[in-house]
Structure 1
Amino acid sequence: MLYRVEGIVIRSMDYGEGNKIITLCTENGGKVGVLVRGAKKAKSRHAALTQPFTYGEYVFFRNQGLGTLNQGEIIESHHLLREDIIKAAFASYACELLDRVLQDDETGTFWFKQLKACLGALQEDKDPAIIIHLYEMKILQSTGYAPELQACISCGRERPDEEYFISPGLGGVLCRACKHFDPPAMNITPRALKLLRLFSALDLQRLGNISVREETKAEIKVIMRAFMDQQLALKLKSRHFLDQMEKYGL
């Protein structure tokens, strides 16, 4: 059967001497694997369609399993992301994270729109850390692990922001009276809590310019890392690379 989809390349790998297999996050068909014959050859007319982060229209034959590309057209190459090591690292993390959580048979509309918005924001030079943490929040929400940030996850009571701790293990904020249910629960400043609530309510497609203090960004990074580790427990090569970049001051 012949398919025509709009999709974003979230993974690209060599296959054989001259071919590539790409994984697309599509708007209406979920996650799809497509074989692109001859993509590694210098004069291949399809080579550009296999580049990571490329958003395009793909036409392929598929009975079951892997499809085979017939033709395609680039809508947005996102070449600026591939030319900047920092942007490329964050974009790779966004794509790998989505690849790991999105199952082949899942509808991809929401995921597609969030990834498209994420890559667009990175290309527009918005703060990559803020973009990625907002994107992570959308991932947590869509996988059913959205943190409870309004009331205590244990007793259900709303308290002043100054009285909350944050518990990645239990999945939300804890009041002082319930702190004993998770002794390792982390301190959280009211400023960071408000930012997390903003992440929870805001759609990436509506992200404007957000100015965040460096100390708040550092706090949010620790908290979001803990939530991703506790709730999804994914080991991602791209995140390790981001950590290495930070370690060496890139």
Structure 2
Amino acid sequence: MNRLTAASYVAELTDGFVGEGEPNQGIFALLLSTLHLLAAGETEMAMRAFEARLIGLAGFKPELNACSGCGEPLTETKIRFSANLGGLLCQACASAENKITVFNRGTLEVLKTLYRWKLTKLHQLKVPEILRQELSALLRAYIEYNLEKRLKTTEFLDRLYKSSPGRGTNI
């Protein structure tokens, strides 16, 4: 993905989570830091970190340490996530939920790392392709749920990459 497309995406995300004329220094600092990383060529993990942190700064950080339904710790290797409940679910609670996303425990650990690490250290994070895809899908679904719409840049990228066989979106 090129840097201009990535920059457009983070700008649209920012616009979606921040009201017009509403000052938010934390989100502005995150946007500026991310744009610097994008300009330096760090795209995919910089965008994932931006998405995760923006969600948190906007007040929608998901529960990542216990089941959002019952509060019990999670021990399964397959993790279930409910955008509606704003976090992880154990197998029992997930059975009562209509729309859940299932992903690997490794994806959860990467997401937790994105919240902990400084943005400038992201280039050190080596994430397998399957976990990057799961993380992207998870964050996209959660963002679209909270914004109550699909972003124009993601629609554009989906069309763009559909016309290029063998390439998946990294947004």
TM range (shorter): 0.7 to 0.9
Out of 124, 128, 131, the residue aligned to residue 40 of structure 2 is: 124
Structure 1 or 2: larger strand share?
1
CA contact (8 A) 2:9 2:154 kept: yes
Q: CA deviation at 1:145?
A: 1.0
Mapping for residues 129-168 of structure 1, pairs under 5 Å: 129-162=44-77, 164-168=79-83
1:131-159 deviation line (CA, Å, top 9, x unaligned):
11211111211111111111000111112
In the TM superposition, what is the alpha-carbon distance from 1:206 to its structure 2 partner?
5.1
The Cα of 1:129 is off from its aligned counterpart by: 2.1
SS of match in other structure, 2:124: coil
TM-score, with normalisation over the residues of structure 2? Answer: 0.85
**1:237 partner letter:** K
* 2:80–2:102 Cα contact (<8 Å) kept: yes
Query: How many residues in Structure 1 have an aligned counterpart in Structure 2?
Result: 165
Give the one of 66, 73, 87 matched to 2:3: 87
CA distance in structure 2 between the partners assigned to 1:147 and 1:182 by the alignment = 16
Greater relative contact order structure (CA < 8 Å, 6+ sep): 2
Question: Which residue in 1 is equivalent to 2:156?
Answer: 241
> Could you say which residue in structure 2 is the equivalent of 1:174?
89
Larger radius of gyration: 1
AA at the equivalent of 2:155: H
Structure 2: distance between partners of 1:248 and 1:163: 32
Q: 1:216 aligns with which of 128, 131, 135?
A: 131
Counterpart Cα distance in 2 of 1:122 and 1:209: 15
Once the two structures are overlaid, the 10-residue window that deviates more, 114-123 or 182-191, is: 182-191
1-side partners of 2:61 and 2:118: how far apart? 14
Compute the displacement of 1:234 (Å). Answer: 3.2
* CA distance in 1 between partners of 2:143 and 2:10 (Å): 13
**Matched ranges for 1:1-250 at <5 A:** 86-126=2-42, 128-162=43-77, 164-204=79-119, 207-249=122-164
Deviation per CA, 1:208-231: give whole Å up to 9, x if none.
Answer: 432211111111121111111112
The unaligned stretches of length 5 or more in structure 1 are 1-84
| Change in 2 beyond 3 A, CA 1:164/1:99 | closer
TM-score normalized with structure 1 length: 0.60
CA contact (8 A) 1:163 1:175 kept: no
Q: Distance in 2 between matches of 1:155 and 1:122?
A: 39
- What is the distance in 2 between the residues matched to 1:151 and 1:117? 30
Q: What RMSD over aligned residues (CA atoms) do the two structures have, in Å?
A: 2.0
Question: Could you tell me whether the CA contact under 8 Å between 1:166 and 1:185 is conserved in 2?
Answer: yes
